[in-house]
Amino acid sequence: MSVSKEFALKIVDLLEDKKANDITVIDVEGISPIADCFVIATGTSSTHINALSDHLSKELKEDLKHREGKVSGGWILLDFKDVIVHVFTGETRAYYSLERVWSDAPRVALHN
């Protein structure tokens, strides 16, 4: 397993610790020039997505390259260079439907 996928699975563990919903890891290595994996997760509210992104930022602060988005917008993006994390509210996730956009990319099997 690649280092990027291992790191993505570490992120999954951290998201599960804070009760993120519907976590998906998409392998975009060789498809996207911006990352090897996307991790997509849903929070139950804007407060929850903020807590999820804060938890990742704190636990992985040395690896975090960039954070953007607003809790009020329902989407926070965390850039860990080879792994990009998208934390959404349910409504915003459904609207942007990243899984549909990247439907040709394989999904990484989660360990749960």
Q: What's residue 109's pLDDT?
A: 85
Q: Rounded distance, CA 85 to CA 59, Å?
A: 14
More confident residue, 2 or 23: 23
> Percentage of the chain surpassing pLDDT 70?
97
- Assess whether pLDDT exceeds 80 at residue 71: no
In Å, how far from its chain's centre is CA 67? 12
Once rounded to an integer, what is the mean pLDDT over residues 67-72? 82
pTM (two decimals): 0.93
- Confidence at residue 112, expressed as pLDDT on a 0 to 100 scale: 53
Residue 69: its pLDDT value, please? 87
User: What is the tens place of the pLDDT at every residue in 35-63?
Assistant: 999 999 999 999 999 999 999 999 999 99
Q: Domain 3-101 is in which class?
A: alpha beta
pLDDT confidence of residue 1:
72
